[in-house]
């Protein structure tokens, strides 16, 4: 068996190593266009920022080690120019010598990855406009910073853009972040990204949301200037693009392999392309969204590694099936962690998929043990079965742990009822006897059982705005759409900030003040994070009132409202 692999890094290197473990006598050749066959591309921003100081630490494995340990033939600085599927061979060009030759295969694995987007706008090819894909890109950016710069612009507030911003700030470089969407980290729902945006502002980053670069130019003094759609102009000594990636599918396309609508290579559940002797893995392929069942392009290192392993398994006759990608990811930014798995609310809405959701705001460990940090968790689930659909979290500690647990639960097809019974490790410095994952189960299951009806902030705002636009006569006939707001926090909390038009009746006084509530009118109650609102809901439901608890309480309202400030 002769296996050729185009591309190293995650998917290709994983496939090569797995293939060798399965077949000692197989001939395995890896072709890599760059000088490094496998490197930690997720660590590139942190070398720029100085968090990682040894460049060699970014080299996951060298060609020499792959040869000595796994007997792999690794050919770096070798560009695969074309595929002849009829003759089952590829054309290779040695970049250092220009020599070209054909190499035959029994099975071919494509793992060329994805390349940073560089839209065709004026000035995009100016030397001070950079992308970050490999060690050489990293070296160029770091060299510019090492020489000394007074300003930088990062375009795109996704994962790579935010990581670059944090590391530029670590180097003391004043930085402007420009993002087309009205939020940072667009895969998150908008309100869940609020703490990240606030962290950026707190660390001196100039944040420009809802704007985009239209051109780059150099002024008369040689200063690089970014021209924005809004008409603003931002000077910079360095520009870094982090606006997304596109699959490097040229080879596949030119050889007649089938591609998806976004240019990614189509594969089946065994990672085979439309040619059964050609496999494809990693950022170049179209995957199945395991929650929505739709086709998607989700470039992530973890799935790429697993795909490489599964492709090698299938080549050697093992039963394999790639389950799909659910988009589990995590980001650290100035001490704030954001993580997600599965579908977001925005993707569920676009897909027309019914859902319910809850917010909770627990601490990462027991409150009586020093150092407990608050977090916000948002969980989406099926309104009938309670099956998990997605989860997001943001906070300073413990977020990654909970999202990892929820990721496994989602992949296992578990429901919010199952989360009530999940048994997790507990000691006060690690969690609580009722872990946040259990709390998700309690709150979501109670909602589905009808124990505590809830309304989310967006719906409440919609209802209140509708009511605000109606005349008094109209309102008198439409009390169903005009809820009476009750803030059940303390008077001090209410005085420090509350939802407009809310009446303050602390939970401790509620039972004795039921006569103050309007008969026949729907009520919405809220507290700081939802717990006292839940208690109030139970009291009021059993006293004959129609009531809903505001999901996530005033804290969620503040997250949601932040995005509606002019300066945000």
Residues recognised as catalytic = 42
CB 45 within 8 A of CB 161: no
Task: Work out whether the CA dihedral 407, 409, 410, 416 comes out positive or negative.
Answer: negative
* Other CB atoms within 10 A of residue 417 CB: 16
Give the burial class of 204: count Cβ atoms within 10 A of its Cβ; 0-12 exposed, 13-18 middle, 19 or more buried.
exposed
Rounded to whole angstroms, the Cα distance separating 228 from 210 reads 10
Distances (CA, A) of 130 to 34, 488, 543: 18, 52, 64
Distances (CA, A) of 444 to 167, 329, 417, 522, 554: 38, 23, 8, 22, 18
Q: How many CA atoms lie within 13 Å of 67's alpha carbon, on the beta-carbon side? A: 8
The residue among 48, 9, 10, 282 whose CA lies nearest residue 163 is: 48
For 266, which DSSP code? Answer: P
Which residues are within 8 A (CB) of 255 and not within 5 positions of it... i.e. 6 or more apart?
82, 83, 84, 85, 278
CB 387 within 8 A of CB 360: no
CB 192 within 8 A of CB 394: yes
Rounded to whole angstroms, the Cα distance separating 212 from 190 reads 18
Rounded to whole angstroms, the Cα distance separating 392 from 407 reads 10
Give the distance from CA 137 to its chain's centroid: 23
Give the burial class of 433: count Cβ atoms within 10 A of its Cβ; 0-12 exposed, 13-18 middle, 19 or more buried.
exposed
């Amino acid at each position: 068996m002769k296996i050729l692999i185009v591309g190293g890094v995650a998917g290709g290197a994983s496939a090569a190593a797995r293939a060798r473990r399965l077949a000692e006598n197989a001939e395995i050749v890896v072709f890599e266009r760059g000088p490094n066959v496998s490197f930690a591309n997720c660590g590139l921003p942190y070398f720029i920022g100085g968090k990682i100081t040894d460049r060699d630490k970014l080299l996951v494995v060298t060609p020499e080690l792959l040869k000595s340990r796994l007997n792999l033939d690794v050919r770096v600085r070798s560009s695969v120019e074309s595929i002849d599927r009829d003759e089952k061979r590829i054309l290779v060009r040695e970049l250092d010598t220009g020599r070209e030759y054909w190499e035959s295969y029994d099975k071919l694995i494509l793992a060329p990855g994805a390349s940073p987007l560089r839209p065709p706008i004026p000035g995009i090819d100016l030397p001070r406009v950079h992308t970050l894909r490999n060690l050489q890109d990293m070296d160029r950016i770091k060299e510019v910073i090492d020489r000394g710069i007074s300003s930088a612009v990062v375009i795109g507030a996704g994962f790579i853009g935010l990581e670059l911003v944090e590391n530029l700030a670590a180097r003391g470089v004043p930085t402007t972040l420009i993002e087309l969407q009205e939020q940072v980290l667009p895969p998150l729902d908008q309100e869940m990204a609020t703490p990240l945006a606030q962290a950026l502002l707190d660390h001196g980053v100039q944040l420009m949301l809802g704007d985009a670069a239209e051109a780059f130019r150099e002024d008369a003094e040689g200063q690089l200037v970014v021209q924005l759609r809004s008409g603003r102009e931002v000077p910079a000594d360095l520009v870094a693009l982090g606006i997304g990636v596109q699959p490097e599918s040229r080879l596949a396309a030119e050889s007649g392999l089938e591609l998806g609508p976004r240019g990614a290579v189509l594969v089946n559940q065994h990672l085979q392309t439309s040619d059964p002797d050609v496999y494809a893995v990693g950022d170049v392929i179209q995957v199945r969204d395991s929650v929505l069942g739709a086709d998607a392009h989700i470039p992530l290192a973890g799935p790429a590694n697993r795909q490489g392993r599964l492709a090698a398994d299938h080549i050697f006759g093992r039963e394999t099936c790639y389950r799909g990608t659910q988009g589990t990811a995590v980001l650290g930014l100035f001490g704030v962690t954001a993580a997600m798995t599965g579908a977001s609310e925005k993707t569920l809405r676009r897909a027309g998929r019914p859902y319910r959701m809850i917010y909770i705001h627990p601490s990462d460990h027991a409150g009586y043990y020093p150092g407990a940090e608050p977090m916000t968790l948002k969980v989406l689930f099926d309104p009938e079965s309670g099956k998990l659909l997605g989860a997001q979290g943001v906070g300073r500690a413990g977020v990654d742990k909970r999202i990892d647990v929820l990721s496994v639960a989602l992949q296992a097809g578990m429901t919010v009822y199952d989360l009530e019974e999940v048994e997790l490790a507990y000691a006060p410095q690690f969690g609580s006897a009722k872990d946040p994952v259990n709390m998700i189960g309690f709150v979501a299951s109670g909602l589905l059982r009808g124990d505590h009806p809830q309304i989310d902030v967006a719906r409440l705002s919609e209802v209140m705005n509708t009511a605000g636009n109606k005349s008094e006569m109209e309102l008198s006939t439409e009390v169903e759409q005009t809820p009476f707001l009750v803030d059940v926090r303390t008077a001090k909390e209410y005085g420090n900030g509350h939802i407009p038009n809310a009446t303050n009746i602390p939970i401790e006084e509620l039972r004795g003040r039921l006569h103050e509530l309007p008969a026949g009118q729907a009520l919405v109650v809220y507290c700081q994070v939802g717990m006292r609102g839940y208690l109030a809901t139970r009291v009021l439901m059993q006293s004959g009132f129609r009531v809903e608890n505001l999901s996530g309480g005033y804290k969620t309202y503040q997250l949601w409202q932040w995005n509606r400030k002019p300066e945000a």
